[in-house]
Structure 1
Amino acid sequence: MPDTKKVTRERAQLLFKALSRWDNEGGAGPGHPGLAPTEAQPDVPPLANAELVQLQTRVIALENLVIALLADASDWQIELAREGAAYIRPRLGRTPHSLTINAADQMDHMVKRSAIFRFNGKP
C-alpha cells in the first residue's frame, strides 16, 4: 500500500508545477516548449457571435462540473483549490491584473458554492 502522505506531497508538487506554467494568463507564451522562438503566431480570425455563445455555454457547463466535483472533494482538495486561487492573486510588487483577480475570486466562489452540496456536514 503506497504511503498516502508521499502521494499527496507528489501530487501537490505536480500541481504547483502545472500552475506555475500558467502565471501569465495563458502559459503558451514565447517561451512555451510547443512554439519555436522565431515561429510567427498565425492570424486568428475573430470569433463569430454563435462561437462566443457556444464558448459561454461551455464555460457555464465547466463551472457547474467543477462545483459538482468539489462537492465530493476531500478537505485537502478543497484547501488545494483555495491555495490555487491565492497563488494567482497579485503578489507584492507586482502589477495587479483584473483578469487574474477575477479568476481567483471565481475560484473561491466555486469552492463556496460547492459547500452547499457537500455531504460531510462541513461547509
Structure 2
Amino acid sequence: MSRQSSDPDDFTQRQRALSRWDNEGGAAPKVSILSGEQISIPEMTNAELVALHVRVIALENLLISLLAKASDEQLNLAREMAGFISPRPGFTHHPLTVRAAAHMVDLVERSAHFRN
C-alpha cells in the first residue's frame, strides 16, 4: 500500500477523483449524461437499504483494519484528501459532503486504536 511516486499528476488525479463527489450526497441523477434523456430510478426498499447499511458497516471496518497497517504517509494522505472535498467554485457546501470528509478523518483516527 505504499505510494509509488510523487508524480505531479498525482494531484490532478486526486482532484479528478474527488470532483466526482461534488454531485453526490444522496441526490440521484435524473438525467442520463450520455443521451440527455430522463431516466427513472426506482425507490429502494427497506430490505435493500438495510442490506446497503450492513455492507457499508462491513466496508468501514475493513477499511479501518487496512488503515491500521498503513504508513504515516498514507494516513496523512487520507486526511489530506478529506480536506480536498469542497464544492466547485460558485457552489455551496453540501452538508452530506462535509460530513463525508469528517467521516474520512474519523476512520483514520479510529484505525489508530488498532495500530501497533
Instruction: State the TM-score bracket (shorter-chain normalisation).
Output: 0.7 to 0.9
Aligned length: 110
Q: Over the residues paired in the alignment, what is the CA RMSD in angstroms?
A: 3.0
Cα–Cα, structure 1 residues 97 and 35, in superposed 2: closer, same or farther, change >3 Å?
closer
Which residue number in structure 2 is paired with residue 103 of structure 1? Answer: 100
Deviations 1:13-65 (A, max 9, x none): 33333223333327x979xxx932x4324201100010000010011011111
Which residue number in structure 2 is paired with residue 88 of structure 1? Answer: 85
**Counterpart among 47, 50, 53 of residue 53 in structure 1:** 50
Which residue number in structure 1 is paired with residue 60 of structure 2? Answer: 63
Contiguous gaps of at least 5 residues in structure 1 = none
Cα–Cα, structure 1 residues 16 and 76, in superposed 2: closer, same or farther, change >3 Å?
farther
Which residue number in structure 2 is paired with residue 17 of structure 1? Answer: 16
Instruction: Name which structure has the greater RCO, CA cutoff 8 Å, separation 6+.
Output: 2
- Identity %, equivalent residues: 51
Shift, 1:118, TM fit: 1.1
* TM-score in terms of structure 1 length: 0.72
CA contact (8 A) 1:71 1:118 kept: yes
Q: How far, CA to CA, are the matches of 1:41 and 1:115 in structure 2?
A: 45
Q: How far, CA to CA, are the matches of 2:42 and 2:19 in structure 1?
A: 29
Which residue number in structure 2 is paired with residue 35 of structure 1? Answer: 33
User: Which stretch of the first structure deviates more once superposed, 56-65 or 93-102?
Assistant: 93-102
Q: How far, CA to CA, are the matches of 1:91 and 1:35 in structure 2?
A: 19
**Counterpart among 106, 110, 114 of residue 111 in structure 2:** 114
Q: How far, CA to CA, are the matches of 1:22 and 1:99 in structure 2?
A: 10
CA contact (8 A) 1:90 1:101 kept: no
* TM-score in terms of structure 2 length: 0.76
